[in-house]
Structure 1
Amino acid sequence: MRRVLLSLAVCIICLVLNAVPVMAAADEGVSFSQDMQSFSGQVMTLSQDTRAYATPDESSTGGRAFSKGESVYVVGETDGWYQIFYKGENLYIPVSSINSEDAEEAQAQAQALAEDVEVELKNAEKRDTVEIENAWREARSRRNATIWRIVIGVLVVVSIVVSVIVGLKSKEVEKDNK
């Protein structure tokens, strides 16, 4: 009888230990490659056909021809030249190739876009926070449901064991009375 009870107790303990999920959040740092360059600047539209040069000098070699209406990514300005970033290289175009009104309009559009992006990022952060909280609540709910199933299972097993023990004891008492 004791062996049966001991076996049942061991089975219940194994059931409880294996059924309760352990939840842990790892706090590991994320590293990114430092190989990437970052530029700050703005996209501007050319007001005339122009040529881009490898250095801020019209006699320099290399570069590329741009047509009126094309957009370029301006990363800086030096001595009457805009420094642009195009297909992985820095080139230079004359400041006169971009209308100052267009530059101001591009700056205003960039500012408006930056504000819109900031608002969208804040909204996305709020949504992400809510989703994370909901995921944790759901995980806690599943864990609690599993715990309650185990508790109820243990109570059922204990009540069966107690009933068996009481039944065996009553048979022993009947045998002793006869």
Structure 2
Amino acid sequence: MNSLYDFIVKPIGESRYNNSKKIGEKELILNTKIESWKFVNRFAKVVSTPLAINTIIKKGDIIVVHQNIFRRFYNMKGKQTNSRSYFKKDLYFAAPDQIYLYKNKGEWQSFGDRCFVKPIKNSDHLKNRKEEPYVGILKISNNNLEASNINPGDTIGFKPGSEWEFFIDDERLYCMKSNDIVINYGNKENKREYNPSWTYSS
């Protein structure tokens, strides 16, 4: 069973939403609304690859996908409905540009023109914020950035509103495109990563 141009995937885990988090022996409810994209499951397993596209992603690979693939919506009649990516049962279509990461030999690799950036702690004590806006440390790069000598570990600046929040292996990262990065500050050792304590799994 293969699609011509799309991957066929299924969500990893018991649900399409990550609405709760276990802290110790207690379960904390994080979300009760299907409209909230922040709590949609982003991890999927590849069931089949597209026939008309050559890809390094293989059947069985673990990938990170766009938040709308497994998301549910209310239609004009107020009834819950699946996203347009829904295929059948627990299977969904994922276009190549809806896949951001894939796991290769235990390591996350970027797919397409996406990269992932780690927020850094605010160094200006006069400003009441925990992280510096529009600045971060490049964690997962891609071929386009590395060809421009922008490498993992570099401190970069990015366009406002270009970042999308993801949680990858207990790290809070921002996903964005290569052209959303507007400046490379180089590898600054005095910059400290910002990762809230609540991102860690129990």
Please report the TM-score for the alignment, with normalisation by the length of structure 1: 0.25
Structure with the larger strand share: 2
Structure with the larger helix share: 1
Which structure's relative contact order is higher, taking Cα pairs within 8 Å and 6+ residues apart? 1
Please report the TM-score for the alignment, with normalisation by the length of structure 2: 0.23
